[in-house]
Amino acid sequence: MNHKMFSQVFCTDNVNKNASGTVALASTLENAKMLSLLALIVPLIVSTSCDEVSSLNNRSFPTNFKFGAATASYQIEGGWNADGKGENLWDWYTHTFPDKIQNRDNGDVACNSYYKWKEDIQLLKDLGVNHYRLSLSWSRILPNGTVNNVNQKGINYYINILETLRANNIEPLVTLYHWDLPLVFHELGGWYNPLLADYFAEYARLCFKVFGKYVKTWITINEPQTTCVQGYGIGGKAPGYLHSGEGVYQCAFTNVLAHAKAYHVYDKEFRASQNGRVSIVLDSAWAEAASDKPEDVLAAETAMAFSMGLYANPIYNGNWPQIVIDRVGNRSLNEGFPASRLPQFTPEQIQLIKGTSDFFCLNTYATSYSQYQNTVNESIGTPDYHLDMGVRSYRDPSWSAVVDWVALVPWGFRSLLNYVWNQYDGVNEIVVTENGWADVESTLNDTARITYVSEYLSALLDAYYEDGVNVTGYTVWSLLDNFEWTNGYTQKLGIVQVDFNDPDRTRTPKESYGWYKGVIARRCLLESCVN
């Protein structure tokens, strides 16, 4: 039984449309046992308010709530081979397979932040943020990935940034790994190879040692789900592998093991002297049941277990989610495998991994409906992560969206916050480390972004005040328009425009920058709030 009490506020307008377009109203729960069961399976959805969806929460943000903005090293730095930096996975991928990237773009120059980092920090200072989430380039610090070859120029680059952030009263939230794996480890199997967990722990130890005096909040790994499903399962991102049946799970195994080993390095060797904290960034869309049929409710539970749960459950609750163990195991045996395609943790590994998080970091951009598909005994002989899941996911076409991975569904965000709060043991704080709006036009008049972020922040306040979810921070993605992986520069998520046709990569704040600055200054979504 979960240690927290699940709470929701319902009203007659809090409804969601199911797959057939009918309206499902939240029903009254008869007893506490049913309430707890529902919290573990699929929290009821509520909209952002009991009025129109555009009505914003008029409560002030809590006094301890922190606002921030985020970037990542490969997406903004450029300087891909400058000052001793080694080659990484995305350098190799964009250079070797340019046709896999929109417009054959790459991150060789990106936003040129390797040389323009002072300008970026000035933008952050003028914005008034409390924190800046950035990532370190592993191969800029360790050109061949290992600690026997340290690049002091790379270390100095990050020390300069961290010192300047601190001097401007901006807290750095530092991510050790945001997808730019040193190429040597890709050649050794990448995240398929469990030895990578030990190399990552050594890299983390070095970073804790040389940067720890400036950093109080560490994030080990960014979005392992996206790495494993997109990079190693369906080939949508580097390294572009198509091993959905086994690769996703082996990648997940190595990622959570690497995170845990890095966490213990900090816990045992640095926490007492540096007094910082460590977590991992997990990403997920919210999975809403397509109907109130038991099989669709189970489908939503299953979708969450295979997306977020595959990574969160070992860290917070111990071991893989049971439904993942059962489904992958059953299909593996029916396919003729001698054992499950899902790697098995040893009892020692379960204990090593469980509890390795000081707070919960959440990235999210969208919501989908989940509908049951009977794949348990179907398509046997074709090992596949999505067939293991047995869920059809789809979006409501009425939801506002420009790209296929971002949609305006604030009630889904609120439900996801509730789910994290109630599903995982030991979560006493949630920090939203990425959320933002994507468009494809480089416009300064980005009112759609203001609408998206304001409604998501309103849903966050609803979760905090109405549901008792202790969410203490929000980080908009992104500070800058940047290299969006295989989408190149065709998708814009920045609150600051970057002119990629200008060799100087000129920055120009958008309307959303000024709007966000105002929200931070008054700590309120409206011109005035009730508290």
Identify whether the C-beta of residue 330 lies closer than 8 Å to the C-beta of residue 376.
yes
**180: Cα separation from own chain's centroid:** 15
Place of tokens 């409501």: 396
Burial category of 439 from C-beta neighbours within 10 Å (exposed 0-12, middle 13-18, buried 19 and up): middle
Whole-angstrom distance, CA of residue 179 vs CA of residue 379: 32
Give the containing element (helix H, strand E) for 406.
none
Place of tokens 């922190």: 66
Residues 6+ apart with CB under 8 A from 376: 327, 330, 331, 390
Half-sphere exposure of 123 (CA within 13 A, CB side): 27
Alpha-carbon dihedral sign for residues 420, 36, 313, 392: negative
Tokens standing for residue 415: 């439900």
Whole-angstrom distance, CA of residue 511 vs CA of residue 259: 38
State the amino acid at position 306 in one-letter form.
F
Whole-angstrom distance, CA of residue 349 vs CA of residue 395: 37
Whole-angstrom distance, CA of residue 418 vs CA of residue 325: 24
Alpha-carbon distances, residue 253 vs 17, 73, 201, 233 (angstroms): 36, 25, 15, 14
Q: What is the DSSP letter of 354?
A: T
- Closest C-alpha to 181, from 278, 74, 327: 74
- Closest C-alpha to 328, from 309, 353, 347: 309
Out of 87, 246, 288, 434, which one is annotated catalytic? 434
Judge whether 223 counts as a catalytic residue: yes
Whole-angstrom distance, CA of residue 165 vs CA of residue 187: 35
Judge whether 441 counts as a catalytic residue: no
Out of 87, 171, 223, 246, which one is annotated catalytic? 223
Whole-angstrom distance, CA of residue 281 vs CA of residue 405: 18
CB atoms inside a 10 Å sphere around CB 167:
10
The separation between the first and the last C-alpha atoms of the chain, rounded to the nearest angstrom, is 35
The catalytic residues are: 223, 434
